[in-house]
A and B are shown apart, each in its own frame.
Chain A
């Protein structure tokens, strides 16, 4: 259809334009700005992909039936972990630039000397590569198996997935914690917060849910995903609501505990984010990631209303990007930077992500047709 071609061209155009800007950023705005943006989008790709894979694994873990008809979508979204690998490997070049722990001075810093070996580039890279490899393993077992099941209709996959799901959860816990500590809190290695892994998990899960909801609604608009009804949307909306509250709870807990104890080595991380213009970003994050979605989804009807869900899901994805931005960019010093470098990176990566997802959705079946629980899932009623 020409509509698809038109959108496709638009996206390729965005990618091309973005690419120019990306290259220009390195030359004109400096390596630090370049890498901060690169890491932002790497983390986004990674959390979106891993969060989606978590949704798939969760379904197998608790043997949920209602979500079987929509499971293909997070499976496709999880394939974003594939481009995350080269993006992440390239991002390793940022480590000596932005991560103080990896620089040679760390060996003499009183707080970093003891863990300099952990923060140094070699060990850092090993952890990142290991994490990416484990994600690919999860992808291969859960998503690969599900795609194969479309043709073979062999229930052996369900058995394998149920057995693998707990193992994947352990992998997930390890990987998300490593990525959170290394790539995000590692930017300020003197700072530490043991809930940080849980915080990044909450954001990742939420982004996977929001992207899933958006794709489900988009496919429904195109007339695909027949049989998926308001009851399924209600559950998706319910999860979005519940985990918005969960993310806010984790975020508030971390902030309030550090505020209360008022220890200088912890509070510095927040003071930077509450100073000057960063304060506005922090308030915006609270408003867009918690207040708005909470009140938008609090009523029962709103959770199954396609229009409301679409808007809130969009908002949540945007808020997730803002969250990662808020975590990374204060390391550049000065106020929140937002200009043509950020826009170019956004064009490049968003265009790329959308192209990838669209490509993934065009192939194969829209539902896991080989799953024996598909019928039960389609017949789900609240």
Chain B
């Protein structure tokens, strides 16, 4: 009688009975032989003449790929795309890349082993296989060992198959009807699957947007942006006057501008010029004099500068005998403290600059009152 059977199952009580039955049933050549057992039976692969599992090779290849990917990725990031030296280690230090390379190798290999075995080799998940809805399935996952003769073509004879199984020692036989069509790959299911993937992507996208853009702005996460600290150019509740920026405390001295204790001009007479008379010092002195002093005291120090007429006051004529007799310290005192109408030039001249100007003034004085011997000195 022509059948539309998928397979005939024969149930055995012990693994020995199953193993003994396999060669007999295979010899009958009535169909493909498959076994269903609650756990893996040793030796069944040889008995059923199964091809070796390619999983080992797949895992090795993917493992090596994982290693190469991890090394390459780390190297590219650390040495090519954005090379930074951290901790004194060169950008491309391979030693540091080994731990992650190892982990990623294991990760790739594991997912290949697990998912490759399930999806690719075993073609699971698959919920439509006829065995799953058979009577024998309860025994298969409990304590029965089942041999199946599966139809290879239209000419499958389920009665003969059942007889062969019984002859080989099966305690029960069951015929499985063939399903009308593949219950899994229906267009409905495919659409459902695609829809599910799409929905998952949308949800994931929204979730990521929320997590990265919205969530940090909620309390208490946003408290970090709102810190009770002093911000530049903003009001502050910490100080009484409400200003964030405050004046320096009275007596604050800028670096390099320690006040020089000069007392009175007479007391300053004992100060000694600490700078040597070198070209550099001379150049500094000339520059500062030109910028600060020339407008009043004149280019040659004679008190006639470009501002003299407009200013009204009479700047000192540094070529006068009085000033040529001044010790260095008294000139320095005048720069630092000012004299009469001359303001103090201390705030914007550093110590060395002030003393350089003193040297320059001395040079100007000498230049206007040169003697014959000075000309001999100048040729050096």
Contacts and interface: CB of A to CB of B under 8 A. Distances in A.
Interface stretch (A20-28, A117-125, A254-262, A312-320): A254-262
Contacts of B248: none
B359 to A, nearest CB: 50
Contacts of B87: 260
B60 A298 contact: yes
B60 A260 contact: no
A256 B60 contact: no
Interface in A219-254: 252
Nearest to A261: B87
Contact of B96 (A260, A298, A299): A260
Contacts of A381: 42
B72 interface: no
B56 A300 contact: yes
B95 interface: yes
B98 A252 contact: yes
A298 B87 CA distance: 36
Nearest to A257: B95
A252 B94 CA distance: 12
A259 B99 CA distance: 14
B60 A299 contact: yes
Contacts of B88: 262
Interface string B251-263: 0000000000000
A300 to B, nearest CB: 6
B60 A255 contact: no
A291 to B, nearest CB: 12
Contacts of B98: 252, 256
A259 B93 CA distance: 10
Interface string A281-299: 0000000000000000011
A8 to B, nearest CB: 44
A270 B222 CA distance: 50
Contacts of A300: 56
B95 A299 contact: no
Contacts of B56: 299-300
A303 to B, nearest CB: 12
A58 B60 CA distance: 31
Contacts of A262: 88
Contact of A255 (B42, B89, B95): B95
Nearest to A256: B95
| Residue from B42, B88, B95 with most neighbouring chain A CB atoms (10 Å) | B95
Contact of A259 (B42, B60, B95): B95
Interface in B62-99: 87-89, 95-96, 98
A256 B98 CA distance: 9
A298 B60 CA distance: 9
A259 B95 CA distance: 8
A381 B43 CA distance: 11
Nearest to A259: B95
Contacts of A256: 95-96, 98
A256 B95 CA distance: 6
Interface string B29-64: 000000000000010000000000000100010000
Nearest to B96: A260
B51 to A, nearest CB: 15
A260 B96 CA distance: 8
Contacts of B89: 260
B287 to A, nearest CB: 48
Nearest to B60: A298
Contacts of A298: 60
Interface in A152-175: none
A56 B42 CA distance: 30
B212 to A, nearest CB: 33
A254 to B, nearest CB: 12
B110 to A, nearest CB: 16
Nearest to A382: B42
B89 to A, nearest CB: 8
A262 B96 CA distance: 13
Nearest to B52: A301
Nearest to A249: B102
Contacts of A299: 56, 60
Nearest to A255: B95
A381 B96 CA distance: 42
Interface in B316-337: none
Nearest to A262: B88
A77 to B, nearest CB: 33
B373 to A, nearest CB: 63
Nearest to A298: B60
A262 B42 CA distance: 54
Contacts of A259: 95
Contacts of A252: 98
B102 to A, nearest CB: 9
Nearest to B99: A256
Nearest to B93: A259
A244 to B, nearest CB: 15
A262 B89 CA distance: 9
B170 to A, nearest CB: 28
A360 B87 CA distance: 55
A32 to B, nearest CB: 32
16 contacts: A252-B98, A255-B95, A256-B95, A256-B96, A256-B98, A259-B95, A260-B87, A260-B89, A260-B95, A260-B96, A262-B88, A298-B60, A299-B56, A299-B60, A300-B56, A381-B42
Interface of B: 42, 56, 60, 87-89, 95-96, 98
Given A262-B88, A300-B56, 11 more contacts: A255-B95, A256-B95, A256-B96, A256-B98, A259-B95, A260-B87, A260-B89, A260-B95, A298-B60, A299-B56, A299-B60
List 10 A-B pairs, minimum CB-CB distance, nearest first. A256-B95, A259-B95, A262-B88, A299-B56, A300-B56, A252-B98, A298-B60, A256-B98, A260-B95, A255-B95
